[in-house]
Every structure is written in structure tokens, then in C-alpha cells.
Amino acid sequence: MLFAGYQTSYGNDYPGGKKITGVLFVKGCNMDCYFCHNRMTALEGSDCIPEDKVKNILERRKGLLDGVVISGGEPTIYGEELIRFIEDIRKQFPMFLIKLDTNGTNPDLLKKIIFDKMIDFVSMDIKAPIAAYSKIKGCEKAHLLSLRSSIRIIQNSNIGYQFRTTLVPELSESDIAQIQMDIGYDANYILQPYRDIQLPVA
């Protein structure tokens, strides 16, 4: 796996209580959302951190961290590599909780990771009402059936989870209401503020 960055987070990246986590940003994504908070790190930046260096960073923080967040970018684009990496973290750092951030585009992999009890928490970004992803720049290629499948997999899991939507300018109040209908008025749903991301000029 390719990693683009690491940061320590104090309670903001692991819902449900104050946890100190190491957030790992994988390189690359299968979407191109212009509003991605991690865009400059995970997508635009060219430098990569090798896996062994990532594990060394975590090793030095044993006793200081409560868990690890695998974010991005989109971790599930790495397929079996992601599974192997999570297994490695479980073996090397059994004291760490593991959270996965995903856009929900790989439900088969997500199902395996969740139901094999490889992670403790999952967050899925829902960019727009499922039937209206094409209205959001960078999300047009999302497979709508995959998104719906991932939502149901997460809701039927026995681990902690959260759905979240960034309030980009294209979304209206009716869009937010439709998202809530899409996920069945799930209580584990939050709205995130939109931050204007200044992209480099081509």
C-alpha cells in the first residue's frame, strides 16, 4: 500500500468518545471530489511513505495511541493489500482500535473486512442523495448499486459506524432530507462543514 501522510488526532476522527488516534492517509482515490479535505495530501501530493515507515511510526506511539484510522484517499482501492495491512496491524498492535474511512464504492471488500471482524468502526461518506451523485463534481462515476449495498452492509454490521455528508454548495435542504431517506433516518449520521479547497491551477 502507498501512504501519503500521517497525523495524530485528538478525539476528532474516532466518534463515540475521546480517543487519540494515528490517522493514516492512503495515496489515491477512485473519486475526484473537489471538496476533499485530504485532497492535497492524498491526491495532489507526490511523496509516498513506505509501509515499514508507517509501522515504525505506530511502533513509537505504542502506549500513546488508542487506535488507528485508515483514511485517504480511498483505502479500498488497494483490495487484498488493504486486508493484509489490517491483519498486520492487528498482529503487531493488538492494543489499537482500527477505524476505516470509505466512500462505499467497494461493498464486497467492505463486507469481508466488517464481517471478518477486522475493524472496530467504519465511516462512510455519502456525497449526495444516492440517485443524484452525478450532480456533484468528481462523484459522477460512482456505481449507485454499490453505494446502496455498502450502506446496508454497514447498517447490518455489529460494529460502530457513522455516515457523514459534507455540506457542499450543490446540496439543498431537500437533498439532505433525501439522503436521510436513503439511509432510513439513521441516527448515526452527521453533517460536516464545507471548506473551500483552493486547487492548483493547471
The domains located in the chain, with CATH, are 3-192 (3.20.20.70)
CA dist., res. 79 & res. 22, Å (int) = 22
- Tell me which of 32-41, 84-93, 143-152 is least confident: 32-41
pLDDT over 90 at 181, yes or no: yes
- Cα 99 to chain centroid distance, Å, stands at 8
Confidence of residue 200 (pLDDT cuts 50, 70, 90): very low
Instruction: Name the residue among 43, 41, 6 with its Cα closest to residue 21.
Output: 6
pTM over 0.85: yes
List the single range of 23-27, 69-73, 185-189 with lowest mean pLDDT: 185-189
pLDDT band at 108 (very low <50, low <70, confident <90, very high): very high
Q: Would you state the pLDDT for residue 41? A: 66
What's the rounded Cα separation, in Å, for the pair 2 and 70? 12
Q: How many other CB atoms sit within 10 Å of the CB of residue 122?
A: 23
In terms of residues, how long is the chain? 202
In contact, 151 and 124? CB cutoff 8 Å? yes
Q: Please give the torsion angle defined by the CA atoms of residues 9, 155, 77 and 82, in that order, rounded to the nearest 10 degrees.
A: 70
- Residue 152: pLDDT over 50: yes
CA-nearest of 137, 125, 54 to 92 is: 54
Percentage of residues in the chain having pLDDT higher than 70: 93
Torsion of Cα atoms, 166 then 170 then 175 then 179, to 10°: -30
